[in-house]
Amino acid sequence: MELSNIEKLLIKYENAETSLQEEKVLRNYFNNNNKVPTHLWEYKALFGYFNKSSEEQFTKTIQLKPRRSNWAWLSVAAAIVLTISIYTFRNDDGISDSERREAELAYLETQKAFQLISQNLNKGGNVAIAGLQEFEKAQNKVFKTTK
């Protein structure tokens, strides 16, 4: 094949525009022709590599280990975790009865304090609402608007 045609095919090959037949022509040219010009030696090496690598085959056998499920160990681990969590998070928590009673009394006193604060806030809110109602009545008298 003419050198100019090979160079045109190489340009198309570099741009990924060649067909399979054109690539076969390039492969044959570089693998079977010993008189490749010096400026195309890199392509001879490239196509030689492709030719050699296509002939390689993997011949070793692959040993696959059968997959065994470890459900027995998983269930044992789950039972241990469950036992430890029940033992750790039980209601006793290591607190004595007197400490528990003191904590309950403190809780009740806190509830009473919050209830007292809530009642006082409700009273203050009612006074503020009553003041707003008086303001609205006065505004209605001044501007003579009716509902």
pLDDT tens digits for 59-76? 888 888 877 777 777 788
Give the closest residue to 25 by CA, choosing from 6, 53, 48, 3.
6
Q: Is residue 78 part of a domain?
A: no
- Kindly report, residue by residue over 22-62, the tens digit of the pLDDT: 888 888 888 887 788 888 888 888 888 777 887 788 888 88
- 30 Cβ partners below 8 Å, 6+ apart? 36, 40, 43, 44, 46, 47, 48
- Give the total number of structural domains in the chain: 2
Q: Is residue 121 part of a domain?
A: yes
- Kindly report, residue by residue over 85-108, the tens digit of the pLDDT: 887 776 555 677 788 888 889 889
In the chain, beta strands by DSSP E: none
Q: To which residue do tokens 């022709």 refer? A: 33
Furthest CA-CA distance within the chain: 114
Distance CA 93, CA 96 (A): 9
- Percent of the chain whose pLDDT exceeds 90: 2
Residue 1: per-residue pLDDT: 55
Q: What is the residue range of 133's domain?
A: 97-147
Q: Is residue 45 part of a domain?
A: yes
Q: Is residue 76 part of a domain?
A: no
Helix (H, G, I), strand (E, B) or coil at 1: coil
Helix (H, G, I), strand (E, B) or coil at 60: coil
* Angle (CA) 128 129 131, round 5°: 65
59 or 121, which is more confident: 59
Helix (H, G, I), strand (E, B) or coil at 106: helix
pTM: 0.38
